[in-house]
Amino acid sequence: MLLDRLVERGAKAENGLKAIIRDGCGGLGRAVELVYAQSVVDQRCIFHKLKNVKDKCRTELTGEDHQEQKMQLMQEARAVYQAESAEQAKERLAVWSARWGELAPESVATFETGF
C-alpha cells in the first residue's frame, strides 16, 4: 500500500509529518485513518473542494439569469479559504452557508462536509 511505503521511508508524525492533503477519494481517507489514526491532520485539497462546490452550483443555479449568482457564490466560497485564522474561516463559512443555503443547498452541503 502507498501509505505503508511512505511510513517505511520516514513519513511519520514523529519525524515531523503534520498533515496529509488529499482529494475526496474515500479509499485514501480510510487508509489515512488506519495508518496515521489521530497523529496527522487529514485535510481535503482546496482545489478539489471548490471544484466540487462549483459542480453542484452548476446544477442548482442553471441558466443565464443565474450566471452572476454562480460567480458570487464561488467568489465568496474562495474567500472562506483566504481567512487569516481558523476561527475567521469558520465565521465566513457560517455567513456563506446562511446566505446560499436556500438557493443552493447541495453546494452548501458539499462545502460544509469535512470542513
pLDDT tens digits, residue range 65-74?
899 999 999 9
pLDDT for 42:
67
Band of residue 14 on the pLDDT scale cut at 50, 70, 90? confident
Band of residue 27 on the pLDDT scale cut at 50, 70, 90? confident
The phi and psi torsions of 21 (rounded to 5 degrees) equal: -105, 130
pLDDT over 70, % of the chain:
95
Give the domain ranges of the chain. 2-44, 46-112
> What average pLDDT does the segment 42-51 reach?
82
pLDDT for 38:
73
Say if CB 43 and CB 15 are below 8 A apart: no
Residue 36: half-sphere exposure toward Cβ, Cα within 13 Å: 28
pLDDT at 45 over 90: no
List pLDDT tens digits, range 74-89: 999 999 999 999 999 9
pLDDT at 25 over 70: no
